[in-house]
Structure 1
Amino acid sequence: MTERPTTTTNAGIPAPSDEFSQSVGPNGPLLLQDHYLIQKMAQFNRERVPERVVHAKGGGAYGVLQITEDVSQFTKAGLFQKGAETDLLLRFSTVAGELGSADSARDPRGFAIKLYTGQGNYDLVGNNTPIFFIRDPQKFSDFIHSQKRRADTHLRDNNMQWDFWTLSPESAHQVTFLMSDRGTPASWRHMNGYGSHTFLWYNADGAKFWVKYHFKTDQGIKNFTGAEADAMKSVDPDHHLRDLRTAIASGDHPAWTLQIQIMPFEDAAEYRFNPFDLTKVWPHGDYPPIDIGKLTLNRNPENYFAEIEQAAFDPANLVPGIGASPDKMLQGRLFSYPDTHRYRIGPNYLQLPVNRPKAPVHSYNKDGPMTYVNSGDPVYAPNSMGGPVADPELWKGESYAVAGEIIRSAYVLHPEDDDYGQPRTLWEKVLSDTDRAHLVANIVGHASAPEVTADMKVRVVEYWRNIAKDLGDHVAKGLAVNGS
């Protein structure tokens, strides 16, 4: 029989008992001096960090990104050079549900990648959709509130969702995607991932390009119908989490082909619609996707809380060769994500093993709760004491000129900056007859919830008629709403 280790306190001190608290006699009151009991209770009370406001329910795994093609003409980022292999963590999630919610709910899926590069962490925080509901971060918290629970009843409310969507026409593309079977993927392995935003790439000579990332599943797209997704909520609410872990444990390592779309820097100003608008995709006929590598997941986490729940992804983590674009949603996320991590996990969240970069850290940041790594003296810059110094040459190429009046506006600069053209194309040219039938059924089912008012149903029909009259007419019939 293998000898068992001795139970200890968190400080490594042998524990006095696994079963009994210290008391005055066998039946007497407990003693405050029982430090082990106090530690266990205090630790238990704090064993849950606040759940994520968004993307609370999820899972993930470790893997590697391998670059197979030469894209040095577009970027000098080391992880994208031909032959580079970069370790990574990929976290999947739903968006609106809580920690205990069902994996198969109708919702976008998060697709967040942390790449442990030789120049620090590069985080690509995307979804299984190439688009989003809104284009301005001013509306982000309002959008999420509309998808969460009511303040008065604490119930989810489809009427509240349609109220926001029908008053936000820019949501039409994403809602069309969401209400199709693409809104209920059969597993995380059987869906694509997208960087969604536009990013800046610049090469060693300083030449600039705009780029979009697409991770196309090698397992093939597989979706649940609405009925199948609802049934799975009862059969196994953790189906996606279980499916991924089981596949990797059995050696069936899921993989995605990385594609990029490249737009010459100068094209953006005169393009037919705003290429930084997160509610739109770049047509493949204009900017064909280019295969450049492979992402493979090959290792499950050993401790979910330490490695997945405390994983923190930050789109502001950009390495030399990669920069932000004028995408307003991306600009907002550059602040929002690290700010929420500092609140949820703590200001030193990057010192946790799952978030810690594999590249050396030489920082003048110091102290704060739960610090266990400090760079030592000197603790300020500039200094003459041999401390680290920045190297602006590494970032040569990321700058570009901008000009304009300071405004708050959705001012249209491009001739095709409309909200309905791309979802109309999705309805008319991309979805199959079966997909279209399911889309209508899913819309009707969602808008038929008891809390959806008669007036709201009229607005729902008008919303879809703005995309395509026949689509709106089908929805009107399903909701028994009159109108031409």
Structure 2
Amino acid sequence: MYKGANFGILRLILVILLDIIIAANAVHYEDVAAQQTVLFAERTGGPIGILTTANGAPVEFKDANVSLNRRVLFNEYLTESITHLNRQKIVERTVHAPGSGAFGYFEVTRDITNICKAKFLNKIGKKTPVAVRFSLVAPSIGASDTFRDGRGFAIKFYTEDGNFDMVGLSTPIFPYKDPLFFPTFANAQAKNPSTNLFDANMLWDYITLRPESIHFFMYKFGDSGIPNGYRHMPGFSVHTYQVTNDQGESHFLRFHLLPDQGEGYLTSKEGMEISGINPDAFTKDLYNAIANGDYPSWQVLVQVLSLEQVRNAAFDVFDVTKVLPVDEYPLQPLGRLVLDRNPVNFFAEIEQIAMCPTNLVPGILGAPDKLFEARRLSYRDAQYYRLGANFQNIAVNCPLRQSFTYNNNGRPPAKITDRPTYWPNTYHGPVPYVDPERPEVLEIVQDTSLNFDQASHHYKYELPEDARKRLISNIVDSLVQADPKLQDRAVKLFKIINADLGIRVERGLANEKKNKYNYELM
């Protein structure tokens, strides 16, 4: 008894000392991501409650600590834990699978009500909550943040008229114009189904058979292919959106997001070094910056075109494989995007976030191009497949305003409602609103993209010499792994874009083959 009492007193003293030590160290952590569990303990001070099953029944101590020599199926805590573990993953995205995200707000800094009547843009200083997801395009979940790739920059605006989703990229252009080739683009960059390895032949076969994509891949193989973290990455809407004002007049906008932290990029070597130390470096950097109050922000700018400018343009301004020249269509300020809150639960708020181009609000009609039209179908279908028909009822996807639909039943989370489930009806179900001034989305005719002139301009005038060297080196590193006939096909296309580019890629390939030959003789 005496020894037991002493042990109890000693244990109490140790607990008190530990609490004092924790309190003394409850200071500002720079690496908040690494200390998340410690900070939770400091914030709560003790167990937050009695452990229960999902049904709310309290779990007895023995059930939570030992199952040996006991009837397993009678332990509800054990059976629930195991069966839930088998189901705690969901189908990952086919593209844009790995990524990160955060929450914040968009603030209007310029009045454009004469152009667009969307309510979240109707007053300088107005703030709209947003969720932002950054992502890689080609690899699966688990890929390194520094993988050389195009990247997604998707924003969900929680407006008073419902959610507006902009599924943008870190590059100002898209790799293809015709949505028919989306499966080709996705599968050519995915792993070879036989070897389960990335395959240079698949990639370069696609690039050289669909040369409109070279413009995009010049960004991917250039400095833009590895940003120095998500906070230093720009974003672009890619599509030219049709918007309308209160008088029913249409204008057309392309959105640009430029980081206040400055754009920054990594070389392939730097990317590999960081990946070897921490493959989640960008995710950690974003989390820590927000947790430490160093909120990342972006200037939101737009290029504005009138209907007359669209009709008189020298090229298809809705061609997503081309940029809109800023000297012809200047960037105009619109607002500021700020991220100031990390997700509380990554799976619930980031993995389950469902971005859909079909999420539009009055005043923003979408884009007239066929790619946008196809993405409206594709993204919605992807969310149905991943999250179920009621994905809009998941908390992170819910609009701020109450929604009134005639959708009912389906996979959880289903809404509880006693309203009529069909339209039209006589029994006071929700009714549509009338907007006599709303124009139809512009009908356009599009040809196959001819964008070599812009690719040439990008190489000749926008890239300094050191950036050209890195572009060529990265192209050669990838292309040297491909079939020689694909190398020849690619070199011919590069020479058409710019003779200097093609010749230097050709020389780079020759040097790589020579070095490989000399190595094999050693």
Contact conserved, 1:190 with 1:219, CA < 8 A, in 2?
yes
Q: Does 1:470 align with 2:462?
A: no
Deviation, 1:392, is: 2.4
1:440 pairs, out of 472, 483, 486, with: 472
Deviation, 1:473, is: 0.1
> Normalized against structure 1, the TM-score is what?
0.93
Distance 1:458 1:284, change over 3 A: same
- Listed as ranges, the matches of 1:31-430 within 5 Å are 31-83=72-124, 84-393=126-435, 396-400=437-441, 402=443, 411=447, 418-430=450-462
SS of residue paired to 1:392 = coil
1:18 pairs, out of 64, 67, 71, with: 64
After superposition, the CA RMSD in angstroms is 1.8
2:488 pairs, out of 448, 454, 458, with: 458
The unaligned stretches of length 5 or more in structure 2 are 1-14, 16-45, 513-522
SS of residue paired to 2:218 = helix
SS of residue paired to 2:397 = coil
Contact conserved, 1:458 with 1:481, CA < 8 A, in 2?
no
SS of residue paired to 2:65 = coil
Distance 1:290 1:4, change over 3 A: closer
Instruction: Please give the per-residue CA displacement for 1:18-73, whole angstroms capped at 9, x wherever unaligned.
Output: 1233xxxx547x45444432221111001000111111111111010000111011
The amino acid across from 2:66 in the alignment is F
The amino acid across from 2:131 in the alignment is L
The amino acid across from 2:91 in the alignment is P
The amino acid across from 1:453 in the alignment is D
The amino acid across from 2:81 in the alignment is K
Match of 1:8 in 2: 52
The amino acid across from 1:62 in the alignment is F
Distance 1:3 1:454, change over 3 A: closer
Contact conserved, 2:173 with 2:322, CA < 8 A, in 1?
yes
SS of residue paired to 1:215 = strand
Distance 1:154 1:270 in 2: 48
Decide which moves more: 466-475 or 1-10. 1-10
Instruction: Please give the per-residue CA displacement for 1:254-295, whole angstroms capped at 9, x wherever unaligned.
Output: 110000011112332332111111100111111111011110
**Is the radius of gyration larger for structure 1 or structure 2?**
2
Distance 1:400 1:92, change over 3 A: closer
Distance 1:463 1:481, change over 3 A: farther
Report the number of matched residues.
465
Distance 1:336 1:215, change over 3 A: same
The amino acid across from 2:447 in the alignment is Y
> Normalized against structure 2, the TM-score is what?
0.86
The amino acid across from 1:423 in the alignment is A
Distance 1:240 1:398, change over 3 A: farther
SS of residue paired to 2:471 = helix
SS of residue paired to 1:296 = strand
SS of residue paired to 2:362 = coil
The amino acid across from 2:52 in the alignment is T
SS of residue paired to 2:407 = coil
Deviation, 1:402, is: 3.5
Q: Percent identity, aligned pairs only?
A: 37
Match of 1:407 in 2: none
Distance 2:511 2:64 in 1: 65
Contact conserved, 1:367 with 1:374, CA < 8 A, in 2?
no
Distance 1:278 1:384, change over 3 A: same
Distance 1:246 1:360, change over 3 A: same
Distance 1:4 1:119 in 2: 38
Match of 2:509 in 1: 479
Distance 2:362 2:272 in 1: 45
Which structure 1 residue ranges, 4+ long, deviate > 6 Å from structure 2?
A: none
Distance 2:317 2:444 in 1: 17
Distance 2:453 2:183 in 1: 26
Deviation, 1:481, is: 8.4
Deviation, 1:4, is: 5.3
Distance 1:171 1:261 in 2: 23
Contact conserved, 2:368 with 2:442, CA < 8 A, in 1?
no
Select the structure that is richer in helix.
Answer: 2
Instruction: Please give the per-residue CA displacement for 1:129-152, whole angstroms capped at 9, x wherever unaligned.
Output: 110111111110111111111111
Distance 1:231 1:383, change over 3 A: same
SS of residue paired to 2:102 = strand
Distance 1:402 1:372 in 2: 37
Distance 1:460 1:117, change over 3 A: same
Deviation, 1:457, is: 1.4
Instruction: Please give the per-residue CA displacement for 1:330-389, whole angstroms capped at 9, x wherever unaligned.
Output: 111101111111110111111111111111111111111113423322221112211110
